[in-house]
Amino acid sequence: MTVQTASILDADAIGRISDRFDEPDWLRAHRAAWWKRADATPPPTGQEEEWRRTSLADLPRGAVLLMDVPELETHLPSGAAEHGVILTDLRTAVRDHPKLVERGLGQVDGPASHAHFWALAQAAWTGGLFCYVPRGVSVDGTLVARQTLPRADVAFHPVTLVVAEEDSSVTLLTEVVSPDGAAGWYGGIADVRAGASARVRYADLQQLGDGAWRIGAERVVVGQDAVVTTLNAEVGSRITKLGLDVLMTGKGGTSKVLGILAAGDDQQIDINTVQDLAADHTTSDLLYLSALYDRAHASFYGITNVRHGTKQTSSYQECRNLLLSPQAGAEPIPVLEIAANDILRCGHGATAGAIDPTTLFYAQTRGLDADAAERMIVRGFFEQVVSQIVDETIRERVLAALARRIGAESSDEVAA
């Protein structure tokens, strides 16, 4: 069964999702409330600073909402379940862990620039992920959740909810894959919470088909003394428009915000980040790298917000773009909003440029043909992020996805 959406969803359609899955009253109410929010928060007009670079005119609003969501493939390291770790699709979690989900789902707003889409996903999700790590539990190994979409021309707004309680430790990789072809709308959002002293590594690998519009939002809360690394690897889609908020709300928290973007053809990637330094002694370092082929274009609009009255925060944002074709383009825009006097460090760096011809020549004189030389240089360019991916599973998956875009033959080509 599918829900037809003439232009966008309506309240009835949202109700039919609850009917279809025979949802409890609290969830029915939750969806209705978020639908009101979505309705009351109009979609971006294109005048907003964050939306000037991506037009939604051709967003396939009429795409059919995906109801028969293929099973989420999950991998939970052995022994983790016995310690109360949960990794399951969100609908199963509603059934099996209703209290935990009710307590965590949709309790907060997402990135302000993506408020409409955040609310839409909270109201219209038909799939998603629930990951829960109890207090004091450290999970060895990598949690993996992979969603494959059955077709290209659907709308899908999954919600990923990750809760790592106090003093827990977890490494999670989420992946989404869809076929090439017609335009589709992937509106997945992620709500990631690291409690006090938690250690969280969260990587999202996006390999959507070449017709997909990825309008995504991610909100990461870093608790007191927590250490969080996020990685967004965007290698698919026609349009990627991602809003990412990293909220340093707990004193002494640390975040590393990593991004790998590889795009070709007419792909457009537009990332809006906010590093919100809202507590004393917090550290947040962002590094986004993009390799752009053909006519691909990447925009990066990143805000560092050092809140009034905070002490001794440390932050940096760096965005580097490698242009591999004269038609490729990049627009990195860092913004620093500093309202505090006592800061340790707050800086930014942004570059966009082609491979230096002399470097290319240098590699060619060593016997590598022009393509192989370029591949090696691009692969080396990404190493600045790849070397920070300590989890082997994540590193391998990301490199394999990158190889399909940048053409590297094997993952050991550089790392030998």
Partner 1 sequence: MTDELVISGLEVSIGEKKILKGLDLTVRQGEVHALMGPNGSGKTSLAYTLMGHPEYRVTAGTVTWRGQDLLALTPDKRAQLGLFLAFQYPSAIPGVTVASFLRNIYNAIHHPKPADADGERSIKYTGIPLGKFRKLMEEKMSLLRMDPAFATRYVNEGFSGGEKKRLEMLQMATVMPTMAILDETDSGLDIDALKSVAEGINATLSSEMGVLMITHYQRMLNYVTPQFVHVLLDGRVVMSGGEELSHQLEANGYDWVREQIGLPEGTGDEVSAPEPVASH
Residue numbers at the binding site for partner 1 (CB under 8 A): 356-359, 361-370, 372-373, 376-377, 379-384, 386-387, 409, 412-416
Q: Which is nearer to partner 1, 379 or 395 (CB)?
A: 379
Q: Which is nearer to partner 1, 100 or 414 (CB)?
A: 414
- Supply the minimum distance, in Å, between the C-beta of residue 235 and partner 1: 18
Q: Which is nearer to partner 1, 26 or 362 (CB)?
A: 362
Q: Which is nearer to partner 1, 67 or 372 (CB)?
A: 372
- Supply the minimum distance, in Å, between the C-beta of residue 365 and partner 1: 5
- Supply the minimum distance, in Å, between the C-beta of residue 345 and partner 1: 22
- Supply the minimum distance, in Å, between the C-beta of residue 255 and partner 1: 23
Q: Which is nearer to partner 1, 40 or 415 (CB)?
A: 415
Q: Which is nearer to partner 1, 81 or 370 (CB)?
A: 370
- Supply the minimum distance, in Å, between the C-beta of residue 302 and partner 1: 22
Q: Which is nearer to partner 1, 269 or 322 (CB)?
A: 322
- Supply the minimum distance, in Å, between the C-beta of residue 175 and partner 1: 24
Helices 11-20 and 25-40 cross at an angle (nearest 10°) of 160
- Supply the minimum distance, in Å, between the C-beta of residue 112 and partner 1: 35
CB atoms within 10 A of CB 95: 14
- Supply the minimum distance, in Å, between the C-beta of residue 256 and partner 1: 18
Q: Which is nearer to partner 1, 41 or 411 (CB)?
A: 411
